[in-house]
Amino acid sequence: MYNCALLKFKDIASQDGHLTSIEEKIHVPFKIKRIYYITGVAQNIARGFHAHRRLQQVLICLNGSIKIKVKNPNEEQIIELNNPSVGLYIGPLVWHEMFDFTKKSVLLVVASEHYAGEDYIRDYNHYLTEAKATFAEHPVNPL
């Protein structure tokens, strides 16, 4: 799907537990400028409901499970994240919504840019207009 991909990280497992390492430009396709994490989301709460103009991110569910709906004007998919060695890459102009957070779930996000409010498109109709104009100008290049 356009600007979306599941990334598999190495799970270094031993009898002492699991370790996963993420290095910029190696395991994620960008330089990492920011990380943030989302915790304590009640099961009936949905978050997101926006797209970004420039930001690239990888979403990793460190505990529990979380569903992510990713959309563009032509496609829509729901992905469940439930494995700390799997990340969902989301690039520019992908509308995304996170929902069905299980109790004690933890969503870690690795991001390519510092926080910038103006990078968000939070109105779905504005998103459709911007995404359709971009897709018309630059033919879609799915990952």
Rg (alpha carbons) of the chain, rounded to whole number: 15
**Nearest Cα to Cα of residue 20 among 110, 102, 140:** 110
| Contact present, 12 and 18 (Cβ < 8 Å) | yes
Window 42-81: contact mask with ligand T46 (x via CB under 6 A): -----xx--------x-x----------------------
Structure tokens at 65: 């499970």
| Contact present, 56 and 112 (Cβ < 8 Å) | yes
**Nearest Cα to Cα of residue 89 among 49, 55, 57:** 57
Does residue 36 interact with ligand T46 by CB under 6 A?
yes
- Within 105-134, which residues bind ligand T46 (CB under 6 A)? 109, 115
Q: Is-catalytic flag, 96?
A: no
Stretch that binds ligand T46, among 4-12, 21-29, 32-40, 73-81 (CB under 6 A): 32-40
Does residue 38 interact with ligand T46 by CB under 6 A?
yes
List residues near ligand T46 by CB under 6 A: 34, 36, 38, 47-48, 57, 59, 109, 115
Catalytic residues: 50
